[in-house]
Structure 1
Amino acid sequence: MSLIHVIILAIIEGLTEFLPISSTGHMIIAESVMGDKGDFVKLFTVAIQLGAILSVIVLYYKRFFRDFNFYIKLLIAFIPAAIFGLLFAKKIDALLDSALTVGITLFLGGIILLFVDKWFNKPVVTEEKNISNLTGFKIGLFQCLAMIPGTSRSAASIVGGMSQKLSRTAAAEFSFFLAVPTMFAATAKKLWDFHKEGHVFSGEKIKLLAIGNFVAFIVALLAIKTFITFLEKRGFRLFGVYRILIGGLIIAIYLSGHTLEVI
């Protein structure tokens, strides 16, 4: 990987991880366009999530150092993804090889986001501290939908939260918090698999990972702040339109006989 490709992928990760537009889908498209290949590229696109989740801890540090019940709630919400991830790891990896799947899920998810503000417009819960453990678990079930590439972990968990009568802001913030254990576990597993397969972390690879995580951290900080402000004023409709456009483009490219090579 070249340094410029490292920076581009890290910017994409930071921008898209917490927005309901699918970071995985955008990373797959970016990798295809840039032509980066290999096991380290696959590792890199997952490992730079650490920088993104660090931005959540920095921005919401008071929540993470408030009380132990907060961690219990996150653990309960994380359990569904942990179980489904272990049970269906191979099938999930197979889906990652399908650009058409990304296009379809982006498109369908976009349609849902066009109407989600109208569907769930009577929130009851406006703060994370009022989210029950059972509600957290239900949101965790919704998060599992994001194992289909292009769905968006953020979109799935936010819509799941709103379906449980959370306000848009409360649902988005809980989605951010839930990203921390979920993405940390995914990154740890990817690093372990990379090591177990006999790959060596050279000084150059470590440097690229460090740069990628730093860039993703900075960009994610800005993205989260902007997203919350935008969400409170405008809702999800614009994100729905964006998803429909980019998903439709991917589908059109596929139907025209051209292919996006998924690395």
Structure 2
Amino acid sequence: MTSYDLAGRVALVSGAAQGLGEGMAKALAAAGARVMIADVQEAGADTARALGEGHGYVHLDVTDDASWAAAEAATVDQLGGLDLVVNNAGIEITSLITELDPEQVRRQLDVNVLGTALGIKHGLLAMRSDGIAGQGGSIVNISSVSATIAFPGIAAYSATKSAVDRLTRVTAAESGALGYGVRVNCVYPGLVPTAMGQGFAHDVAAIGLFDSPETAVGAVVGLTPSGRLGTVEDMADAVVFLASDAARFINGAGLPVDGGMGM
């Protein structure tokens, strides 16, 4: 049986200063990878220090093309290569469709769709044979269960996460057709009670969809055959799996990590 040992590999995780991204970075480090915490929040430096020696932090604005190029160059220079890009950075702004704010929609599109697309772009450029890392590798994009179900209050967010799914599958096809040697997959996380997840529960209650945040969480749990919310560890372990040799023949796939909510 192939283990999930990532010793000798280098991973860049966007949006890893806190929340799911931080958990993913910790899990990758525990599996043996050297990890670059890439985040617009300078607190990412503290997250990197907490991982210990052999890891790093780089400032990254995922919506900026040049910022991605610089972050990946810094990763190769400081950590000695690049074998995995985890496109985790994302934002969610709750709104009824009749109350959509165009600027809020554009912001979600910029971070969730453009940010992921640029991460894919620069991951492929770095990891393909003529790139600065040049050894092939893996890209894991973070979509959402909202890409597979219709839950009220998150129309724009759901649209962006559906786009992440399509980006994943088209990129896997391109990478294969052009011989890049880079697998591209995505994960559909269920609701996790991070700061973002808790904010969602409060927001859908605030706009009148549920009586309280607790009722909103209960509705999610009620739709989940496993009967609970997800944990950071649930999501992080899925990323480690997709990055490992155990997933060597998994490509262009979306992995639901939602307790069955999206089935």
Give the TM-score, by structure 1 length. 0.31
Give the TM-score, by structure 2 length. 0.31
Greater share of residues in strand? 2
> Relative contact order (C-alpha < 8 Å, sep 6+): which is higher?
1
